[in-house]
Structure 1
């Protein structure tokens, strides 16, 4: 679920530029800076890349059970440890759709601060993600503006206050699934982009590394650190290969069965609690540090004020659009983004709040504070930056994790979301999710739903999994880590997974947010 911080990243980028920090890479002709420069190989052929890393493009079978079907390429990056024989730890940042390569590049210092500096960190982009094949892009060759506009609509939060709007959103999601089915059918490899296959790729990697060291490949064991969806990947691997684990830490735990069922219903058990923590932090910080505080007498008063703002937006959406505003000019100059006319609705604010509590940090809380104050004071042009629908990019990003998230999660459900083709069933599901969590239900309902109903892509028999672990134990205990107020990977899921893997441990942090990587 790491992709839900997309909006907040945009705002943070602007805040950073306003305050004057910017980092630019200095190219080195002897280095590789793009996986397209590498030649795929069935063995690990390392090449120096991105200054202080090594990269490889590994050729793996589409289906390990039927190697003759062909191959695809997966991207691998390594941040080497202090010694040539340092233990390698594979990492995954979440998603589906999160790039493990990007995680090693950008977050290696934070990971090392948690697990120590004696390890080599390895990121393998899962199938369908970023640098790894098959492509998850349903808009190859289309202008980014077209893709962004459609995805923002098809993947947007459902509006439970209007049946007409909900019907349009339902049809938009169905159309997206049907559209991608047609695009994916061209080469027929999309069904091999699934979590089981990525777990098999991780096994292939550690076996190849064992061979490189002159060790028996069958004795190789995985050392792994995964966050959020990374818990699904890790638990899937542990379910398939329980005797092939060296160490495994899962930080921010999803319910494996709930994920493969396609509903994500258990994921929002603590979302409203996590949002309440936002207002607790604001109240404790005081009016000098949290502008939305405004001398409130309790955090409950702040949350009530927030709910009142949402109610006002439900009845009175706000029209945005001023090309001469400072916000519009700043975005155009610093981000290559033009702000277009847009109507801000209550679901935009709910989505932004969900993104803010996903990764609790000073900057995320600060940005949400500014958004709430801007909403309260009707500073409408500042509000334009929080929604993708008001943004027209003047350049095409290299990677959009939203399509990978949809492809991988839909293939993993293997048809179990087909009931949402019917609008009545979809409406019932959306309202159920919203009632279960006003703060997170709509965000989670948009992940699969009717898109998967029409995305006619299935995994091969050898890559099917129902999400139910059937193990008596693992070769090393799994450590599950959870916060007490987690908006998408709740403590209840961690407790369930802890019970399903005999011998595992459960570590609980008295804080909020998904990952304890930065806690």
Structure 2
């Protein structure tokens, strides 16, 4: 038998053995048996909501004490009553929904380390959905001595009061009638692209004010930070343990600056410049986006024709292929029909599909390469289906969708948090032209702040900085070298404001550390939570594997090799980091 076939056969056998090991011994085998009870994991993405929640949250009455109830097979849920307005705590209340994955040790055990609160970003991401879909992996990383708690911030999904600009689900569906349910399109798609965005964003802000029931102004990060402290104290602890991704880094930095003496362990991962966020500028997010894009082009070249369907000998040649696709779709979009929906693949959709893939290279790069290769051959269906959502269906019982996750909550948090921006089109144009000078992706990113154009003029008397504090325990700040929307520069900047904090750099493309498998990074995070030990200054972690498989391998082979390359004691951790890299899809903002 030729050497190549022997190698391939050996890899197949090793992959099969690894798969059997995973199925028989891994905690993830137990996790996947629970999937029928878990909402759609894509609910953190824009308007990709689960059809109905299989747990009746109204069966739990909000309470001043933290009372846990069995839910979703083997987890616990609670609804904690908190003040709607902390300046008037005896007036109206809000209810914060949360889910807990119990530690693997008894709470009476001396090895129990307490709860870790998790925020998946957004703003507006559902912590409940995130933990139900990925909490088992996070628990494996942090360790069995901790509870993992996901909560829906006020205004989001299952927490009340909710945020909605629309009277009915049907009205919302009519507003976002695109096949991928997005409110974002390229400002360069047409001559009136930017002005159309201005008009739609203005409508959003006007609807927000007109449909406000009096609670909207209290949906902000200041109040959510106070809610987190209430959760921790109601659970019997004095200090917060927290892991926040993307916008969750703003929330974590806000908490640390507001309550520096209440920090137990605090990880911010995929770090935003909080000052830029609260200024509603969003002008410093794209510093490393081109690096992420180049990692796709170079990765395709390195993978070869067997590993990348879009292969060409140089990155420049692949880029030229995609430029040709832009020109073609701008001139003539392609109609697509699938089994469940129909629509057109146009310039905006191509731009959005590529930009979204930059967030999750291990999950999206191979699929994107195939879609682009198919598109080059005249087949647009693959690209269309990368973000296709089920068609809207009316509900016989509206209560089935009572706690549906949608994008308005994220807009409310961002617009309430940030400074009021000018509603004038001319001022939007100035902002866009300035953003365009720094990045080729400004045509997509400008949409991020447009909902705030005509936002109600609420008082800006909540916390907006400064982000300078001597915390009771130093922060761990994590950033990737090629993060498309939270550049490593921001992680280093934010770290300077928090005394004793350390920056852990992961040498990878993608948004947040979990977008790539790195045993090095996750062991440092576990060590920080368990032992309180920060990585040494200038620590850089490599990743295990590549977004595109090496020549002669596929993704299953690559993952199996990685798992078999570590000790038996580390295999569960390696499984977790790989599975998260293959599914991680946290976005900032949620509707991108």
**Does the TM-score normalized on the shorter chain lie above 0.5?**
yes
Aligned to 2:467: 469
Seen in structure 2, the aligned counterparts of structure 1 residues 233 and 500 have a Cα distance that, compared at 3 Å, is: same
Partner of 1:16: none
The equivalent of 1:446 in structure 2 is 447
**Aligned equivalent of 1:18:** none
State whether residues 34 and 73 of structure 2, in contact with CA within 8 Å, keep that contact through their aligned partners in structure 1.
no
1:352 paired to 2:353: yes
What secondary structure, in the 3-state scheme, does the structure 1 residue paired with 2:358 have?
helix
Distance verdict in 2 for CA 1:98–1:381, change over 3 Å: same
Q: Distance in 1 between matches of 2:79 and 2:216?
A: 19
Cα displacement string for residues 192-219 of structure 1 (whole angstroms, at most 9, x for unaligned residues): 1111111000111111122xxxxxx7xx
Offset at residue 500 of structure 1 (A):
1.3
> Given the alignment of the two structures, is residue 409 of structure 1 paired with residue 414 of structure 2, yes or no?
yes
1:7 alignment counterpart = none
Number of the residue aligned with 2:455: 455
Q: Would you say 1:243 and 2:261 are equivalent positions?
A: yes
1:83: Cα distance to partner? 2.2
Matching residue of 2:216 = 190
TM-score (normalised: structure 1):
0.83
Tell me the equivalent position of 1:393.
392
1:119 to 131, 143, 146: 146
Q: Structure 1 CA distance, aligned partners of 2:191 and 2:458?
A: 31
Output the CA distance in 2 between the equivalents of 1:43 and 1:504: 33
Could you state the TM-score of these two structures normalised by the residue count of structure 2?
Answer: 0.73
How far 1:387 sits from its partner (Å)?
5.8
Equivalence map 1:8-407=2 (5 Å): 25=36, 33-85=55-107, 86=112, 87-143=114-170, 145-149=173-177, 155-160=183-188, 162-184=190-212, 187-210=213-236, 220-293=238-311, 296-314=312-330, 316-322=331-337, 328-329=338-339, 332=340, 338-339=341-342, 341-342=343-344, 344-361=345-362, 363-386=363-386, 392-394=391-393, 399-407=404-412
Residue 77 of structure 1: how far off its partner (Å): 1.1
Aligned length: 459
Structure 1 residue 151, shift from structure 2 partner: 11
Q: What CA distance in whole angstroms lies between the structure 2 residues aligned with 1:412 and 1:25? A: 37
Task: Please state how far the C-alpha of 1:380 moved relative to its aligned partner.
Answer: 2.9
Q: Cα deviations across residues 104-155 of structure 1 (Å, max 9, x unaligned)?
A: 1111122123322221101121111111122122223241531432898983
Distance change in 2, residues 1:152/1:178 (3 Å): farther
Structure 2 CA distance for partners of 1:150 and 1:370, relative to 1, 3 Å = closer
DSSP 3-state at the match of 1:267: coil
Contact 1:90 1:122 in 2 (8 A): yes
Does 1:481 find its partner at 2:478?
A: yes
Gaps spanning 5+ residues in structure 2: where?
A: 1-31, 39-52, 396-400, 518-592
d(CA) in 2 for partners of 1:435 and 1:68?
50
Do 1:348 and 1:387's aligned partners in 2 also have CA atoms closer than 8 Å? no
Deviation at 1:284, TM superposition (A): 1.6
Q: Report if aligned partners of 2:480, 2:513 keep a CA contact under 8 Å in 1.
A: yes
User: d(CA) in 1 for partners of 2:333 and 2:121?
Assistant: 34
Between the aligned partners of 1:151 and 1:133, the Cα distance in structure 2 is: 29
* Alpha-carbon separation, structure 2, partners of 1:391 and 1:431: 36
SS in 1 for 2:70: strand
3-state DSSP class of the match of 1:206?
helix
Structure 1 residues 483, 191: CA separation in 2 closer, same or farther (over 3 Å shift)? same
Report the alpha carbon displacement of residue 469 of structure 1 after superposing the two structures with TM: 1.2
Task: Return the offset for 1:26.
Answer: 5.6
The answer (yes or no) to whether the contact 2:419–2:460 under 8 Å persists in 1 is: no
Displacement, 1:422? 1.2
Cα pair distance change 1:235/1:312, threshold 3 Å:
same
Alpha-carbon distance in structure 2 between the residues aligned to 1:125 and 1:379: 40
- How far apart are residue 312 of structure 1 and its match? 3.2
Following superposition, the deviation at residue 364 of structure 1 comes to 1.1
Distance 1:383 1:32 in 2: 31
Structure 2 CA distance for partners of 1:90 and 1:113, relative to 1, 3 Å: same
Which secondary structure state, in structure 1, belongs to the residue aligned with residue 464 of structure 2?
A: coil
1:427 to 414, 429, 432: 429
Contact 2:478 2:504 (C-alpha < 8 Å) held by counterparts: yes
Query: RMSD across aligned C-alpha pairs, in angstroms?
Result: 2.5
Asked if the contact 2:187–2:444 (Cα under 8 Å) also holds between the matched residues in 1, the reply is no
Q: Gaps spanning 5+ residues in structure 1: where?
A: 1-20, 211-216, 323-327, 333-337
